[in-house]
Amino acid sequence: MGKLTLILGGARSGKSTFAEMRAKELGDDSVLYVATSETKDEEMVERVEKHRSERPSTWGTVEAPRNVAQALRRERSAEKVVLLDCMTFLVANHLMDAAAPEDDPFDDPSADPFDVQIEAEVVAEVEALVAYVQEADVELLVVSNEVGLGVVPPYELGRAYRDILGRANQILARHADEVQFLVSGIPMKVK
């Protein structure tokens, strides 16, 4: 049985840096990094390259914008520490696949973003991760944004995203052995 640590915080709170430092402490040079972002524009390509260059070159990388538990099972990596960065993109990928308009994500969604099937897919993804940790001998660190502290998004897709990610975070926190919350680079142990 593995261990699950959830690392939450707002944008630029230091959560990824904290998670990478924790992964390095636990696994040294033997860490598997799971990247969930998709590079759909030049800015994201640059961000991904910057993140990649800052990680130890000895760390393995799996790109899994969806179906992370399946990707980890296929990988069958020897690393005992897995860093998933981040749940925020993973949820966004599911929502954007299902409901985002082609040309403008702030325009009317192309499908109902509150469709229960979208949330069900995300919940299944999170539950598969929890099951993976329970059956594998790994320490999984999951980075995610805490999106419930800000203003209510002014557009429907944003509100659906906030709701679904909030539910995903709740499931992870409930099953986590440890929960850390980052504020301005300072970790606070929640659980």
Q: 58 exposed, middle or buried (CB, 10 Å; 0-12, 13-18, 19+)?
A: exposed
- Considering the candidates 17, 24, 26, 51, report the single residue annotated as catalytic: 51
3-state secondary structure of 151: coil
Question: Is 51 in the active site?
Answer: yes
Residue 54 — φ and ψ, nearest 5°? -85, -15
Residue that has been written with the tokens 């929960």 in this structure: 179
Tokens of 154: 């002014």
For residue 70, CA distances in Å to 4, 12, 19, 67, 79 come to 17, 29, 22, 5, 16
Would you say 84 and 56 are in contact if contact means Cβ atoms under 8 Å apart? no
Residues classed as catalytic: 51
